[in-house]
Amino acid sequence: MFDFDQYLGFLAFLTILTIGFWLMIFLVSIIPYWIGGQLIENMKLKREAKKNENN
């Protein structure tokens, strides 16, 4: 039979596993969006700088 310490260890393991899973899902969904937005913003700034340089 399980004693209480093993039960607490199992609950701690499940909690850490679940937190890690949701953190991974969050990072996989947010980071590409953030990087893409940053790249688009940089392209706009470079275009605007080039336009101002030509005038």
Residues 1-36 pLDDT 10s: 568 888 898 999 999 999 999 999 999 999 889 999
Q: How many Cα atoms within 13 Å fall on the side-chain side of residue 11?
A: 7
pLDDT exceeds 80 at position 55: no
Listing DSSP states for 3-55 in one string gives -HHHHHHHHHHHHHHHHHHHHHHHHHHHHHHHHHHHHHHHHHHHHHHHHHHH-
Average pLDDT (50-55) is: 84
Average pLDDT (40-46) is: 96
pLDDT at 13: 95
Q: How many Cα atoms within 13 Å fall on the side-chain side of residue 43?
A: 6
